[in-house]
Structure 1
Amino acid sequence: MNNLSRRALLAGGLVAPVALSACGKGPDADIVWRLGTNLPISHPLSARMKEAADRIYERSGHRLFIEVYPSSQLGTDADMLAQVRAGAIQMLSISGLIMSILVPQTALSGIGFAFQDRQQLFNAMDGSLGAEIKQALAARHLIATPKVFESGFRQITTSSRPINSPADLAGMKIRVPLGSLWTSMFRSFGAAPTSINFSEVYSALQTRVVEGQENPLAVVDTGKLYEVQHYCALTNHMWDGFWLMQNEEALNKLPGDLRDLVQAEFSAAADLQREDLAVLAETLPKKMQDEGLILNRPDTQIFRQHLRDKGFYAHWREQLGETSWRVLENYVGGLA
């Protein structure tokens, strides 16, 4: 698994911190870019991007240095998005579901209960669905690297009761990130979705401001949410990926060989990071059980049918457009 060992992932869930700039590299570079992300450098996504940046520096003959700024050092997602659009930073790694506020098509990969597994998902994201999203980003002068990075399938944790069917969500106050895709889906289940900053989620769960939350298991693990939750339903209800976007003007200013090098190295990094997440997907359920969470695997077809009956898919087909929706259904079958 290259520099990030399988043993490290199995042992700690995430990887050990990686230095932002090794051996003082960078000042002698002809071109210096900045890459912002909201994830810590210990997360496989940030770590793999840092590795790619180091390789680009070496393979370019020290002509291009990309400095990685993790943990929202360059500002919030909204701040960094404004900066990359203005050219103040050259690269941004951001959740497609968050990005959908500006580019609605990036929500296509997160439609509730659409994808059955990772293979189906990546067939779509490395195929015409990913191309549809990248085309929409390019229309905003944001050029995505060829392959999307993975955040993972999201699961539901609760303090009060297990979730086996949509009826179990009725009336539940559940924390969700800010975004209409989350709120509309959980409202379709009769829940009361509440947007809370992630930094406040632990205390909100601890004080019962909300009963539950939803996130990939890696986030449940690193946030120690298992300490204030009792149940975890492995619903895989939404998938989220991180697009690595480049300012179009900055990219076009690079010599052709450097443009090719950047795309190739970050594509290779995305493949490695996906392998990292696949390991976590295998190991984290047992770790969560060892931490005291009671896990269950609901029948997801019941949830999908409920969303269909409530008009959730019809609503999002209208929001995202018939053409984009057909591309999604080419991979996952009829939804609405």
Structure 2
Amino acid sequence: MSSMSKFKKLAGISAFAFAAMTAANSVNADTWRYAHEEYEGDVQDVFAYDFKEYVEENSEHTVQVYRFGELGESDDIMGQTLSGILQFVNQSPGFTGSLIPSAQIFFIPYLLPTDMDTVVEFFRESEAINQMFPKIYADHGLKLIQMYPEGEMVVTANEPITSPADFNDKKIRVMTNPLLSATYEAFGATPTPLPWGEVYGALQTNMIQGQENPIFWIQSGGLYEVSPNLTFTKHGWFTTALMANLDFYQGLPEEEQKMIMEAGDYAFNKIIKHIDGLAQEALDKIMADCKECTVTRLTEEQIDAFQARAPQVKEKFLSMTGETGEKLLNQFQEDLKEVQKDK
């Protein structure tokens, strides 16, 4: 299916799927509903089906998975989860950050390293992720089951990007996330929040001149077709999280709560293996399909020019999140020191 065909299908699917879901809710209480933000075969979809596999093998429940667009955009599926229509939602802090400001910490550029071994160890061992974030999410009606990385962020644009000056006069699509907007303002661009369903068309018509995403999503969504210059800036990794409606989770027997958390761990271990090598595979597909595409990997000197602008984003994060954000950031930095000390 072409990239544009994917987008054209969304409106019809959404209304039908929502009606079917509501009907299912009344006749099958043993079915748990789970929505995510990506297409069939993408990282969140693979994670969802690993989670589903564990739940269905270790309980009498079934899990119904809904992919991007079937129930609307990211804001829609979060609202459906908070209202109890959905039991589970997989969503990036890029969108959750409007509900939970401190989740935007992942968008402080150059806070996280980009080598996979360090990133994975950080997610496994971080006190900030595994102890502090669950309490923060619970305050907003969500049970945090698992946070996991999807891939290094890559910028695509209408020309190669090698310096902050190259972002001048460029509108760069961002998720509806104030801190991500602050990042691209710091980089010299004009951040332009757009829902995912509008991104391809906006790039195609030059309404925007660029965007950022992990490389597998750039390939899966066909973004390289309309934004052919890829730049590896090394400013961060795309992070996402599986959450449950807190009331739903707390209403379950203790053994089922335990099983859900084990399912999250099972899916995490599987997805880490899945994403190993995925970025190169996606890049190879892009370059085989797109003769005009370019790939720019910034030198250390070029990275320094972007990294010098990161402190202003960090200050923005602290001003937005107060004491909670300060404690979280301090713990993040301690956790990172711990996983990097032997490397």
Residue-by-residue CA offset, 1:178-216 (whole Å, 9 max, x unaligned) = 221221111112211222332232232222222222111
In 2, Cα distance between equivalents of 1:44 and 1:116: 20
Residue-by-residue CA offset, 1:65-113 (whole Å, 9 max, x unaligned) = 2221222423332222222222222111111121011111211223212
2:139 is matched with: 139
| Percent of residue pairs identical | 23
1:15 is matched with: none
CA deviation after TM superposition for structure 1 residue 56, in Å: 1.7
SS at match of 1:260: helix
- Structure 2, unmatched stretches of 5+, are 1-16, 18-24, 338-343
C-alpha spacing 1:261/1:163, structure 2 compared with 1 (3 Å): same
Letter of the 1:329 counterpart: Q
CA deviation after TM superposition for structure 1 residue 30, in Å: 6.6
As a proportion of its length, which structure holds more helix?
A: 2
In 2, Cα distance between equivalents of 1:173 and 1:323: 33
2:107 is matched with: 110
Which aligned runs of 4 or more in structure 1 are off by greater than 4 angstroms? Answer: 26-30
Pairing 1:59-78 to 2, within 5 Å after superposition: 59-60=58-59, 62=60, 64-78=61-75
Contact 2:54/2:266, CA 8 A, preserved across alignment: no
Residue-by-residue CA offset, 1:203-257 (whole Å, 9 max, x unaligned) = 3222222222211111210122222233211113232222111122211222222
2:307 is matched with: 304
Pairing 1:83-162 to 2, within 5 Å after superposition: 83-117=80-114, 118-126=116-124, 127-130=126-129, 131-145=131-145, 147-160=146-159, 162=160
Pairing 1:1-336 to 2, within 5 Å after superposition: 31-60=30-59, 62=60, 64-117=61-114, 118-126=116-124, 127-130=126-129, 131-145=131-145, 147-160=146-159, 162-290=160-288, 291-292=290-291, 293-298=293-298, 299=300, 300-308=303-311, 311-320=312-321, 321-332=325-336
Letter of the 2:263 counterpart: E
Contact 2:42/2:216, CA 8 A, preserved across alignment: no
Moved more, 96-105 or 113-122: 113-122
SS at match of 1:174: strand
SS at match of 1:154: strand
CA deviation after TM superposition for structure 1 residue 263, in Å: 1.2
- Structure 1, unmatched stretches of 5+, are 1-19, 21-25
In 1, Cα distance between equivalents of 2:194 and 2:68: 18
In 2, Cα distance between equivalents of 1:157 and 1:294: 10
Contact 1:45/1:150, CA 8 A, preserved across alignment: no
In 1, Cα distance between equivalents of 2:143 and 2:26: 26
TM-score by length of 2: 0.80
C-alpha spacing 1:76/1:211, structure 2 compared with 1 (3 Å): closer
TM-score by length of 1: 0.82
In 2, Cα distance between equivalents of 1:134 and 1:40: 27
CA deviation after TM superposition for structure 1 residue 27, in Å: 11
C-alpha spacing 1:98/1:307, structure 2 compared with 1 (3 Å): same
